Amino acid sequence: MESLSSGLLYGFSVALTPENLFACLMGVLLGTLVGVLPGIGPLGAMALLIPVTFTFNATTAIILMAGIYYGAMYGGSTTSILVNVPGEATSVITALDGYQMAKKGRAGAALTVAAVGSFIAGTLGIIGLQFFAPKLAAIALSFSAPEYFALTLVGLLFLSRLGGGSLVRAFLMIGLGLLLGTVGMEKLSGISRFTFGNVQLSQGIQFVPVAMGLFGITEVLVIAEQVTSSPAVARVKFRELFPNSEEWARSLPAMFRGTGAGFFVGLVPGPAGVLSTFLSYSLEKRVSRHKEEFGKGAIEGVAGPEAANNAASAGAMIPLLALGIPFAPATAMLLGALMIHGVQPGPLMIEERPDVFWGVVASMYVGNVALLLLNLPLVGLFANLLRVPKHMLMTVVVVLCLVGAYSVNNSVLDIAVLVGMGIMGYVLRKIGFDLAPLVLALVLGPMMERTMCQTMIMANGDPSYLLSRPITVVLLLLGLTALALPPLVKFVIRRGHTAPRPTGGSDTGSIG
């Protein structure tokens, strides 16, 4: 306990330096703006701003990027409630009851409950991160190459199942990401692969232009074909921001339930923010005494999911910082930023780079307070951003993408990768592919390949060596369960629906 408190105090001494405090405030502000504006999302914003951080030290850069990540969870609720336009996928559930509350004149109460729920969940989630990450890192010190290989494999398998949609399509995206990760010089042998005689490709395909192309240029192309008008934005007066006593009494328990559900969902590989909101909404609907109000303006339907997605963002940081494994697309982007700045997250990070670990944890406390103070007084300003013409916004995005991609290596090749990934991402989006598994596989691929080679060296080429290590066996069983369980559940449900019903008798008549 003493080491945790001393570590946190050290973290505040790092986070409250002028440059880090400014980075934190800018990160949460940009995150809120990204959450409000439909389209770009935190992934796109983080991809766009990675080149901006090249001149920063590692701690300042990650504080900025993390601020965008959890700040976006706040901003998405604003437009969901006021105009029924979710700024983020995690705010889709909030729109169900939040917009109905706005139509009843309770938009201010919904906004306040969403902001307070996000603050409570974010703060409690950071406390969980502070306690669990060092303990998990201590356990992970016993990991070696076989365990890390199994862990990266399990991460990809979980993402393929929890991302939703077709398993085959998810595997195709993972395969494409792994393939892109093999381009360049192989680290152990020094052999160049798939370079086609191009010296620049020997360094590999860079993460930044790939991410900016898939989440920046692709989004520009998708938005360019949409014909939309600026929505009417409801105005909320400051005195209308205070919920009444009944609304507080109904929303506070939902906030704590959503916090618990979201934090533990954040520890699971996959789109934790989206999954946590669905889980929280289902939980609130099940335990509520006002089930008939759900979908018609139930305040629990706003408080629970908003708390859940913020707690999930804190929970998702634990496997990233303690194990060095991103279990979600946004944390994969953070891993890319850490590696660009020469920081390897994992079990040794707390000892080797305490300034980064504890600085980021402490900055999340500061950022959550800043978000609470920003979101309520400036709610009208944030909502009015929807009136900004999209062609102007998208022009800025394209310019940032081009400049950012070129600034990585001052290479025209990176511009070509950016444009190629943007076009490919657009085509894949149009035919229904999810791009997140590709990015996660691109980040995890080199680590998976390296640990696999090290494992085979340790085992003298015998794959059965993996089965002789208990932790590796447990991880592989988890991966197989992730693949087998969802089809099995669907099969059981389908059998239950198609089972013949008994005919005749008074009981049957009463059921009908």
Picking from 113, 111, 121, the residue whose alpha carbon sits closest to that of residue 383 is 111
Residue 137 to residue 317: CA distance in whole angstroms: 12
Average pLDDT over residues 236-250: 74
Establish if 150 belongs to a structural domain: yes
Per-residue model confidence (pLDDT) at position 227 = 60
Looking at every residue in the chain, the average pLDDT score rounds to: 79
User: Is pLDDT above 60 for 238?
Assistant: no
Given a contact cutoff of 8 angstroms between Cβ atoms, the answer to whether 155 and 269 are in contact is yes
* β-bridge partners, 325: none
Establish if 501 belongs to a structural domain: no
Tokens of 411: 């290479």
Q: What is the pTM of this model?
A: 0.73
Secondary structure (H, E, C), 101-166:
HHHCCCHHHHHHHHHHHHHHHHHHHHHHHHHHHHHHHHHHCCCCHHHHHHHHHHHHHHHHHHCCCC
Tokens of 183: 């381009």
Picking from 81, 89, 87, 83, the residue whose alpha carbon sits closest to that of residue 117 is 81
**CB-based burial label for 361 (10 Å; 0-12, 13-18, 19+):** buried
CB burial string 319-331: b at 16+ within 10 A, e below: bbbbbbbbbbbbb
Handedness of CA 498, 504, 507, 508 (dihedral sign): positive
Residue 235 to residue 384: CA distance in whole angstroms: 10
State the amino acid at position 66 in one-letter form. A
Spatial CB neighbours of 173, under 8 Å, sequence gap ≥ 6: 428, 433, 434, 435, 436, 437, 438, 441
Establish if 494 belongs to a structural domain: no
Establish if 499 belongs to a structural domain: no
Look at the chain and report how many structural domains it folds into.
1
**Domain enclosing residue 218, as ranges:** 2-489
Half-sphere exposure for 137 (CA within 13 Å, toward CB): 22
Report the phi/psi class of residue 288: left, alpha or beta, with left for phi > 0 and alpha for psi in -120 to 50.
beta
User: Is pLDDT above 70 for 498?
Assistant: no
Establish if 398 belongs to a structural domain: yes
Helices (H), 187-328: 207-212, 218-224, 245-266, 272-287, 300-315, 317-323
Tokens of 175: 């395969």
Residue 286 to residue 418: CA distance in whole angstroms: 46
At 270, is the pLDDT very low, low, confident or very high (cuts 50, 70, 90)? low
Establish if 495 belongs to a structural domain: no
Tokens of 188: 């152990």
Given a contact cutoff of 8 angstroms between Cβ atoms, the answer to whether 35 and 46 are in contact is no
- Better pLDDT: 433 or 396: 433
Establish if 503 belongs to a structural domain: no
State the amino acid at position 502 in one-letter form. P
Residues 131-183: pLDDT tens digits? 888 887 777 777 778 888 888 888 777 767 655 567 788 888 888 988 888 88
Establish if 172 belongs to a structural domain: yes
Picking from 443, 378, 432, 401, the residue whose alpha carbon sits closest to that of residue 174 is 443
Residues 18-59: pLDDT tens digits? 999 999 999 988 888 877 776 667 777 787 788 888 888 889
Tokens of 229: 């008008």
